[in-house]
Amino acid sequence: MRRTVPALALFLAFALPAAAAGAWLHVRVVDGDGGETVKLNLPLALAQAAVDTVGEQKLKDQISQAIDEAVGPEIKLPQLRTLWAELKKAGDAEFLSIEGRDGNVRVAREADLVVVRVVGKEDEDETVKVELPVRLVDALLGTEGDQIDLRAAMDVLAGGTLGDLVRVDGGGSNVRIWVE
């Protein structure tokens, strides 16, 4: 999880933002071990300019690598698109529930959100909470091949996607990414 969280933070911080009047992207990372806190607060228009500066292709490559790390290299974007299409057809449902000795995992669709919850058993303070709008996932996976569609995702956020996107808490450290 430690390798995936920074990649996910980078992805959401620079790949998703869109130029929406008045909306801001916020990323807060608190390192419980070192006591460092990073706060990123950008107007979405500035975040879009950062994407253009860094280079969309470079970000797409980094995001593809983060997806490989998160779901495994054997599941590529075309297969992920197929899985997503089938999951969307199911509507509101709990797709995965694991109650294990190390923790609990739940993946579900609730109304217009894809919800992922991970709670550690030994330390219940270790949690991951992801709530992505269905239309944002649709936009990201809306292209063919081994690339995601950053521009479409930015358009979705420009259309008024507000609130928490990702929260990771554990061991005194946490990551929060939200749009307001």
Q: Which two tokens stand for residue 36?
A: 């460092």
**Distance of alpha carbon 151 from alpha carbon 142, whole angstroms:** 10
Question: What's the pLDDT band for 33 if we cut at 50, 70, 90?
Answer: confident
pTM: 0.70
Question: Do 18 and 155 form a contact (C-beta atoms < 8 A)?
Answer: yes
How many other C-beta atoms lie within 10 A of the C-beta of residue 163? 10
Q: What is the pLDDT of residue 68?
A: 67
**Distance of alpha carbon 20 from alpha carbon 146, whole angstroms:** 28
Q: How far from the centroid of its chain's Cα atoms is residue 23's Cα?
A: 18
Q: What is the pLDDT of residue 109?
A: 93
**Distance of alpha carbon 88 from alpha carbon 78, whole angstroms:** 15
pLDDT one-digit tens code per residue, 40-97: 898 877 877 777 777 767 776 777 677 666 666 777 788 888 888 988 898 899 999 9
pLDDT one-digit tens code per residue, 162-176: 788 888 887 678 888
Helix (H, G, I), strand (E, B) or coil at 179: strand
**Distance of alpha carbon 179 from alpha carbon 31, whole angstroms:** 21
Domain boundaries, given as residue ranges, for the chain: 4-179
